[in-house]
Structure 1
């Protein structure tokens, strides 16, 4: 007994199990016979090509639905793993699985007794596999092109171009070329961190050195990752290009920080130090001028001195020297004013600690304007032309002690309320004065002035017991005559 040819019914037309007709009966003329289910005759090449699509099409061509679903159970998680992990080893595992499925389909189809070329199956397999393979290949090719554009932009230090190029990556690229797409994501992420660092650096331009430190720290972190040298350099260059700021004193603080900051990568510290050296001279000069306007003389002088000490050959050196001179004079004048204001006697303020004001008028021949401090009982009677209104216009500072009594002028008799005769001695007014030349702060006069005046008036007033001695009553001219040797040279 021979086996019937493959594809022909194994059972007689009169009936076969499961045919739906009785074995002893044949279908009548009114009912057509049911078509017989023919077993699949696989084409090994078609099966292999169908499985190459990773859709399990080869197994469906063979009619092996169980294998189709079994392959799908493995294929779907592997594709998800490739997309999620985006690592090369995941792609290698998927590629290995692809080779296994293709080889298994080929071998399984070859073992079929009726295996052979089938044009229809090949056309179907190509129709299923070719779009998948072409699409995957095209996506991988495009992904590599995007990656090249991203890398080129990074080499140019252009993070905007990096992001623009990477935005072309779609879901298909992340399936067909996940590791390549992920590398672009890493570059974009580095650019985002650089953008954050740039934000901190911008805050540092406002004078917040803490933000400046944070910004440089983040730059250093990104620089420590290979391939980011140019983008870090571009970010740093953009920041340094915004210096100096509009505020000279703020720029000085930033320049000092850039120069003195803790050691870091040479790619950061080198350009920073060079920028600090570039902006410091002008910033020191501007800061000194600003502080002079704000009457912070000592701080202004410090900035001018730093300019001369740190940048002796700078073109602003002469201006800095003039600034130091003006600041020094302002400091002297402020000091003199404070001392004069504090002097209310011979042992206080300027009288205790005389100081100079180098730009004061010289103590010259003739009348000299003076600041009179201390007891003002008699100095208020001096001519207005002798009084200086401010230390900046005075040639002398005259310290005046409390008035005492000098030599006897005359003794007169007075009758008190009890009708008793009393003798009252009138004496000259005696005042000790010290005069200092304000330009040098040196003592030029130390004497006791004797002021004459009228004595023995017809009436005298007193409280309590009658006085035994009294001072004469000077006139304005008497006071002037006494003080004239002090203010005139």
Structure 2
């Protein structure tokens, strides 16, 4: 007992836990157990701190919870609460990182919170992790995006492009074939289905899609046909500039 506490807080905690849980009846060990309330509190918190330093967050959390259950009024309670909060955040962050891995991250269908993230409030920009639409990612300002969930506010899961709102319909005359003909082509915005999540809560926010505008009705259009030329498609996308793409995603990142 004169050797307690040891230099290793977790070792001391193991000894004091054993002393506290053992059945009474042995006079020597019963007297030894009297040291538990004097040594155990610092040992439990110290063990939690040591585990946190080694990034063993789940084990550290368990130590802080044990302390708060057993010694809620001890002077070290504040330190234990802070340690537990930090451990919880690190566990949440590790879980989010795991869910965001892969070509089709699980996060987009099964989001989880990271309460260490900033809230989705105000004008922003709110840094986002953009999943999907890699071509659009390169057109957005670097200050809008991040790959690190520890720095993100939003997770934007973008789906495949679809035809959106019509912008303008124009006639085009074929330049090939024996019998020239005229067809009408409607130019539409590029509609992107999105799932937008506030990282802090893991809850879905914002609209379910964004639309990218652009210029319509160029002088000539090009299309591909096989064997028989039936003319261009009746619907085509507008030609979007970098500013058009930024304006669309800006409704999410800079609302």
Normalised by the length of structure 2, the TM-score is 0.83
Three-state SS of the structure 2 residue aligned to 1:432 is strand
The aligned runs of 1:270-419 (5 Å cut-off) are 270-342=30-102, 344=104, 349-366=106-123, 367-408=125-166, 409-411=168-170, 412-415=172-175
**TM-superposed deviation, 1:289:** 1.0
Q: Which residue of 2 aligns with 1:256?
A: 17
The aligned runs of 1:68-79 (5 Å cut-off) are none
Cα gap change, 1:488 to 1:315, in 2 (>3 Å): same
Three-state SS of the structure 1 residue aligned to 2:208 is strand
Cα gap change, 1:324 to 1:386, in 2 (>3 Å): same
Cα gap change, 1:444 to 1:264, in 2 (>3 Å): closer
- CA distance in 2 between counterparts of 1:284 and 1:251 reads 8
Q: Which residue of 1 aligns with 2:200?
A: 439
Q: Which has the higher contact order (CA 8 A, sep 6+)?
A: 2
| Alpha carbons 2:120, 2:126 under 8 Å: kept | yes
**TM-superposed deviation, 1:478:** 0.8
Per-residue CA shift, 1:44-101, capped at 9, x if unaligned? xxxxxxxxxxxxxxxxxxxxxxxxxxxxxxxxxxxxxxxxxxxxxxxxxxxxxxxxxx
User: Which has the larger share of helix?
Assistant: 1
Normalised by the length of structure 1, the TM-score is 0.46
**TM-superposed deviation, 1:325:** 1.3
Cα gap change, 1:415 to 1:252, in 2 (>3 Å): farther
**TM-superposed deviation, 1:323:** 0.7
- CA distance in 2 between counterparts of 1:463 and 1:241 reads 90
- Work out whether 1:460 is the aligned partner of 2:190: no
Three-state SS of the structure 2 residue aligned to 1:434 is strand
Three-state SS of the structure 2 residue aligned to 1:381 is coil
User: Which has the larger share of strand?
Assistant: 2
**TM-superposed deviation, 1:318:** 0.8
**TM-superposed deviation, 1:480:** 0.9
**TM-superposed deviation, 1:400:** 1.1
For structure 1, the residue ranges without an aligned partner over 5 or more in a row are 1-239
The aligned runs of 1:23-422 (5 Å cut-off) are 240-261=1-22, 263=23, 265-342=25-102, 344=104, 349-366=106-123, 367-408=125-166, 409-411=168-170, 412-415=172-175
Three-state SS of the structure 2 residue aligned to 1:309 is helix
**TM-superposed deviation, 1:413:** 4.1
Correspondence for 2:237 among 450, 462, 471: 471
Cα gap change, 1:389 to 1:250, in 2 (>3 Å): same
- CA distance in 2 between counterparts of 1:324 and 1:340 reads 24
Per-residue CA shift, 1:11-58, capped at 9, x if unaligned? xxxxxxxxxxxxxxxxxxxxxxxxxxxxxxxxxxxxxxxxxxxxxxxx
- CA distance in 2 between counterparts of 1:329 and 1:288 reads 15
Q: Which residue of 2 aligns with 1:103?
A: none
**TM-superposed deviation, 1:306:** 0.9
Three-state SS of the structure 2 residue aligned to 1:446 is coil
| Alpha carbons 2:10, 2:44 under 8 Å: kept | yes
Three-state SS of the structure 1 residue aligned to 2:95 is helix
For structure 2, the residue ranges without an aligned partner over 5 or more in a row are none
How many residue pairs are counted as aligned between the two chains?
A: 246
Choose 1 or 2 for highest CA Rg: 1
| Alpha carbons 1:428, 1:451 under 8 Å: kept | yes
Cα gap change, 1:242 to 1:425, in 2 (>3 Å): same
- CA distance in 2 between counterparts of 1:378 and 1:414 reads 33
| Alpha carbons 1:398, 1:434 under 8 Å: kept | yes
C-alpha RMSD over aligned residues: 2.8
| Alpha carbons 2:173, 2:180 under 8 Å: kept | no
